[in-house]
Amino acid sequence: MALILGIESSCDETAVAVIDGLGATYGARVVAQRIASQDAAHRPYGGVVPEIAARAHVEVLAPMVAATLHDAGITLEAIDAIAATAGPGLIGGVMVGLVTGKALAMAAGKPLIAVNHLEGHALSPRLADPTLVYPYLLLLVSGGHCQILEVRALGDYRRIATTIDDALGEAFDKTAKILGLGYPGGPAVERMARDGNARAVPLPRPLLGSAEPHFSFAGLKSAVMRAHETGLHDPADLAAAFQQAAIDCVLDRLRVALRLSGPVSALVVAGGVAANQALRGALQAVADDAGLRLVAPPLPLCTDNAAMIGWAGAERYALGLFDPLDVAARPRWPLDANAAPVRGAGVKA
């Protein structure tokens, strides 16, 4: 049995989990987990305020660690290693979680594992599905990142595509702000889109048909703003049209990426936007066309959580990959450090 304490604080969710690295099923692997949302604190500002987020992490993290250990029925001494997000993310929040992880590791004499938040997302489908084997093609879509990667092995990632401007989740959030739907925006757009006609508002599909696999959503977001300003369109129709245009772009880019990737065992989606049910349904057709199975983690593993950080720690623990206590927090930390530069000033690598 390998018990890993996972800590996640890279944005506006404070999360702690205890993971059994040898559990045979998803239910057995997540021994205990707690997540504290900051939605109410950030809602008046229409988005995450870094200073508010960092202070909130400080206030709740220590009690959450104690409560999660209690939920698991163990003490800190029973933990085999501490895994904490070390980046990328809002640097204040990342530092809170990482320093807490260092303190716990030092106090208990346990190894520290500094986890890349993106690696947590990339490996989360393996937490949910023990049959998923390397290599697989990953669509990683969240508020800050939009990438397609070959996940070849632990620590071995080849970036095939990224966004040259906005991430997909960012585009959802900005569309929600345009439509006055509040924060968090992505789920609000998805809910409103269910009552709309996706064909009622003509919107562009940036880079559709392009030979390169990269994404672009800034132009689509601007088109939504212009359409909304006319006052001619029902907000539900506009939400549905935006969502369908975004999905069309994702499917087109994925088909290009599949032609550029090597052999893979599955098509995998992860990240906050992976919770979008319309996107999940559309991805099945791409997987079927490619002769691959589609693997999507349960909804609780899509948004930021400590279970995925603990699982990434468990995979690293199995290989003896530990970090020194002076490891630094990193606001940027690409999974593929050797990826070629991509055109566009706003590239989210």
What pLDDT, on a 0 to 100 scale, did the predictor assign at position 289?
97
Any idea what DSSP says for residue 112? E
Whether residue 289 sits in one domain with residue 140: yes
Whether residue 150 sits in one domain with residue 66: no
Whether residue 256 sits in one domain with residue 158: yes
Q: What span, in angstroms and rounded, lies between the C-alpha atoms of 158 and 291?
A: 21
Percent of the chain with pLDDT over 90: 92
Q: How many domains does the chain have?
A: 2
State which residues form the domain around 13: 3-124+303-318
Whether residue 184 sits in one domain with residue 159: yes
What pLDDT, on a 0 to 100 scale, did the predictor assign at position 127?
95
Whether residue 290 sits in one domain with residue 309: no
Asked if the peptide bond before residue 184 counts as cis, ω within 30 degrees of 0, the response is: yes
Flag whether 347 is in a domain.
no
Whether residue 216 sits in one domain with residue 84: no
Flag whether 328 is in a domain.
no
Q: 279, 316, 278, 271: which is closest to 297 by C-alpha?
A: 271
Flag whether 98 is in a domain.
yes
Cβ proximity of 144 and 348 under 8 Å: yes
Q: What is the CATH number of the domain that holds 275?
A: 3.30.420.40
Flag whether 21 is in a domain.
yes
pLDDT tens-digit map of 194-252: 999 999 999 999 999 999 999 999 999 999 999 999 999 999 999 999 999 999 999 99
Whether residue 157 sits in one domain with residue 56: no
Whether residue 155 sits in one domain with residue 58: no
Write out residues in the chain with pLDDT < 70, as ranges. Answer: 1, 345-349
Residue 46 C-alpha from the chain's centroid: 20
Q: What span, in angstroms and rounded, lies between the C-alpha atoms of 99 and 21?
A: 23
Whether residue 267 sits in one domain with residue 145: yes
Cβ proximity of 280 and 274 under 8 Å: yes
What pLDDT, on a 0 to 100 scale, did the predictor assign at position 46?
85
Whether residue 307 sits in one domain with residue 285: no
Whether residue 207 sits in one domain with residue 119: no
Flag whether 13 is in a domain.
yes
Q: What span, in angstroms and rounded, lies between the C-alpha atoms of 100 and 158?
A: 31
Residue 87 C-alpha from the chain's centroid: 12
